[in-house]
Amino acid sequence: MKFKSTRDSSVSINAKEALLKGISDEGGLFVPEEIPRAGNVENMMEMKYRDLAYYICGKFMTDFEPEELSNCINSAYNDDNFSNPYIAPIRKVSDRYFLELFHGRTSAFKDMALSILPFFIDTSLKTSENYKEILIITATSGDTGKAALEGFHDVENIKIAVFYPEDGVSAIQKLQMQTQVGENVFVLGVKGNFDDCQKAVKDIFANKGFNEAINDKKIQLSSANSINIGRLIPQIVYYFSAYVNMLRYGELKNGEKINIVVPTGNFGNILAAYYAKEMGLPVNKLICASNENNVLTDFINTGIYDKNRELVLTSSPSMDILVSSNLERFIYHMSGNDSSVVASLMDDLNTKGIYNATETIKDNMNFIDAYYATEKEVKNKILNTLLSEKYLIDTHTAVASVVYDKYLKKTNDRTKTVIASTASPYKFASDILDALELNHDDLDDFEVMEKLSSLTNTEIPVNLSSLKGKEIRFDKYSKKEDILNNLEKFLGVNSNA
């Protein structure tokens, strides 16, 4: 299996190379030259999560030796990293099925891929003749940063730097990053929003002086953001896992189609669902759920992508994004794998902040619907789901559940539907208490979690409760213009020398 660039059809590299590079030299993202077929899902009935991961990932990562791939998967998906034996259990609540993706070490769906990405990269580095070290740089809207830090800390020959918007993450998300252990990690708060952080990462990749400076030291620049294909491939697995579990427990008949609703800002999680569909997972509709930053909803409904709008800070901060990186991969596939079309559209986005998809792209998107949820709707959904179903959901999952209500109202489509539940409610405990109309002004973050636990008779994830009293190691904030300077100080390099 070779991987192509979304912006240059002449690029063709293997999985290990794509993992180490993260992004193509001209700025394009790596995509598989073809999406492999997975075969009949019924044949996966006896597979546990690790077996599924080996089977699905192996379809793409064909340059990994079987022993290498098996070691990566066994190291990632085990009892040390996940508190639930199913890894990604599915919970039926009324007329919908919640795919719980928050049982990993940082209580968010990013753990599903970022538990294995360090092993992918470490394995790839060991067989590389060009580089001795890897520098991982990552922008985060809250969850990716901690999951990446947790996965990469103290991994030999790898350094990781994470940039987050100081006012764009929850208090617990911020604390998770600021208290991160590890001698090879660097965390920086940014006076700006997630798009500023994400742009800084892309600018660093494109900075010739910086890249020459680290290349002289045999350091390869890469990313743990979902621009790295190694983030995307493992996410395909849990959609197959959801279907297999529903089959196993008699909720589906083999071949019966499902809908999948995904709350998304950067489009990676729903793109993985698209890949699963193309691999043969029986999918009827993909439903893209946005919060009030509804740039994706507008694009899917009109074909026009317009980032020229104010970013709204919401109670679902991981979706407070106006530039959805993984949408580039999606439009590449929708265009018939036409890299020249993608390059032109991305140029329009960079220069004008807006692009209009071709008719081919629009025509090929008929399997995906999109809606968005307001802050009021999100709060009502959290409250009503707890009162009527005795089930506690976080703000992002609530966005998806509201959107599914809107889809049902419009279509009356009763296809069984899986909702990607992307984070533990305890990462956003203050917002949950707001939704439950409970005052918490006089409580600190840990007392807020304890109050939520007492009220709902649910357990606080240990990785969150154990943050109390931890040393804050990274409390520095930077202007967005100074991100590169701070990174160079961490590395001990000077691109202007």
How do beta strands 304-306 and 354-356 pair? antiparallel
Q: What is the CA radius of gyration of the chain?
A: 21
Q: How far apart are CA 468 and CA 466, in angstroms?
A: 5
If phi > 0 it is left, if psi is from -120 to 50 it is alpha, else beta; for residue 437 that is left
Domain-embedded: residue 401 = yes
DSSP 142: S
Domain-embedded: residue 337 = yes
Start-to-end Cα distance in the chain: 40
- Say whether pTM exceeds 0.85: yes
Structure tokens of 238? 């849990």
Structure tokens of 427? 């990462």
Number of domains within the chain? 1
Domain-embedded: residue 152 = no
Contact of 317 with 168, CB cutoff 8 Å: yes
DSSP secondary structure string for all residues of 179-191: T---TTEEEEEEE
Domain-embedded: residue 457 = yes
Exposed/middle/buried for residue 115 (C-beta within 10 Å: 0-12, 13-18, 19+): buried
Exposed/middle/buried for residue 362 (C-beta within 10 Å: 0-12, 13-18, 19+): middle
The set of residues, in sequence order, having a beta carbon less than 8 Å from that of 333 and lying 6+ positions away, is 31, 274, 278
CATH number at residue 296: 3.40.50.1100
Q: Which residues pair with 423 in a beta bridge?
A: 108
Contact of 173 with 317, CB cutoff 8 Å: yes
Q: CA of 295: how far to CAs of 192, 266, 354, in Å?
A: 19, 11, 11
Return per-residue pLDDT of the chain as tens, 497 residues.
999 999 999 999 999 999 999 999 999 999 999 999 999 999 999 999 999 999 999 999 999 999 999 999 999 999 999 999 999 999 999 999 999 999 999 999 999 999 999 999 999 998 887 778 999 999 998 889 999 999 999 999 999 999 999 989 999 999 999 999 999 999 999 999 999 998 999 899 999 999 999 988 889 899 888 889 999 999 999 999 999 999 999 999 999 999 999 999 999 999 999 999 999 999 999 999 999 999 999 999 999 999 999 999 999 999 999 999 999 999 999 999 999 999 999 999 999 999 999 999 999 999 999 999 999 999 999 999 999 999 999 999 999 999 999 999 999 999 999 999 999 999 999 999 999 999 999 999 999 999 999 999 999 999 999 999 999 999 999 999 999 999 999 998 888 75
Give the pLDDT of residue 281: 98
How do beta strands 30-32 and 3-5 pair? antiparallel
Q: Residue 294 is part of which domain span?
A: 90-107+230-463
Domain-embedded: residue 434 = yes
Other beta carbons within 10 angstroms of residue 153's beta carbon come to 16
**Helix 483-491 crosses helix 208-215 at what angle (to 10 degrees)?**
10
Domain-embedded: residue 334 = yes
